[in-house]
């Protein structure tokens, strides 16, 4: 049911974020991190369905999706226009998203997302990280979450999804740090904060379904 709500909300933001994109930002990663990789913060959980790149080769356009009942809190920055056919990219991105959510075929989705040629787009990297997490490859999942945060250190969905990754790896202190990062970005009332906070309230070892 959580997935269904998230999907509906994210579809709305997809349309809102087509014409804008943030400029590249310096790499940023939290310390620590377990399960096969260097440190870093971020959220882990259901991947986003969001805006696709509108700038020339992946110069980090980003927008995290608004979820049902929440307001989009990540302001976008404009960057150079792209010669990329946005419609073609959008269709391919939607297809990869459907592969994840409708068919739960994470391996196929990874191939589709990589084929887009925008691995450094934070939404694309975040989805790839999520897919690897669902496949149980926590090392590669971490690599992609880190890439998403390098592209956009304020990408709140990655902080959330990577935070869930930290919980599954037993790194609850790191997950708490990610929660504080989310609070700094969008406050404690946004869906991303509530989702990660709820996961942290579960007893250690409880399986996460998102």
Per the DSSP assignment, residues forming a β-bridge with 162 are 43
Nearest alpha carbon to residue 44 among 205, 124, 163, 185: 163
Compare 44 and 159 and report the one with higher pLDDT: 159
C-alpha 158: how far from chain center = 4
* Residue 167 and residue 149 in contact, taking contact as beta carbons nearer than 8 Å: no
Q: How far apart are CA 105 and CA 27, in angstroms?
A: 30
Residue 49: count of CB within 10 angstroms of its CB:
24
Around Cβ 180, how many Cβ atoms within 10 Å?
Answer: 14
Average pLDDT over residues 60-67: 35
**CB-based burial label for 136 (10 Å; 0-12, 13-18, 19+):** exposed
The token pair that represents 71 in the structure block: 């307001």
Predicted confidence (pLDDT) per residue in 104-154, tens digit? 999 999 999 999 999 999 999 999 999 999 999 999 999 999 999 999 999
Return d(Cα 130, Cα 127) in angstroms, integer. Answer: 5
Between 37 and 12, the higher pLDDT residue = 12
Give the lowest-confidence range in 31-45, 85-99, 117-131. 31-45
Share of the chain above pLDDT 90, in %: 51
H-type helices in 102-171, by residue range? Answer: 106-115, 122-134, 138-151, 156-168
Do residues 17 and 51 make contact, with C-beta atoms less than 8 angstroms apart? yes
Q: Is the pLDDT of residue 54 over 90?
A: no
């Amino acid at each position: 049911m959580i997935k269904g709500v998230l999907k509906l909300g994210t579809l709305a933001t997809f349309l809102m974020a087509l014409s804008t994109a943030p400029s590249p930002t310096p790499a940023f990663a939290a310390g620590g991190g377990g399960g096969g990789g260097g440190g870093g913060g971020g959220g882990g959980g259901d991947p986003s369905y969001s805006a696709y790149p509108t700038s020339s080769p992946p110069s980090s356009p980003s927008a995290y999706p608004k979820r049902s009942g929440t307001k989009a809190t990540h302001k976008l920055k404009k960057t150079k226009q792209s010669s990329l056919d946005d419609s073609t990219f959008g269709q391919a991105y939607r297809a990869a998203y459907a592969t994840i959510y409708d068919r739960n075929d994470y391996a196929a989705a990874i191939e589709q997302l990589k084929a887009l040629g925008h691995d450094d787009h934070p939404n694309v990297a975040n989805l790839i990280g999520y897919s690897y997490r669902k496949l149980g490859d926590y090392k590669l999942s971490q690599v992609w979450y880190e890439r998403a945060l390098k592209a956009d250190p304020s990408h709140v969905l990655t902080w959330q999804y990577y935070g869930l990754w930290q919980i599954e790896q037993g790194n609850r202190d790191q997950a708490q740090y990610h929660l504080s990062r989310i609070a700094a970005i969008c406050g404690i009332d946004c869906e991303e904060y509530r989702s990660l906070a709820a996961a942290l309230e579960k007893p250690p070892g409880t399986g996460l379904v998102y």
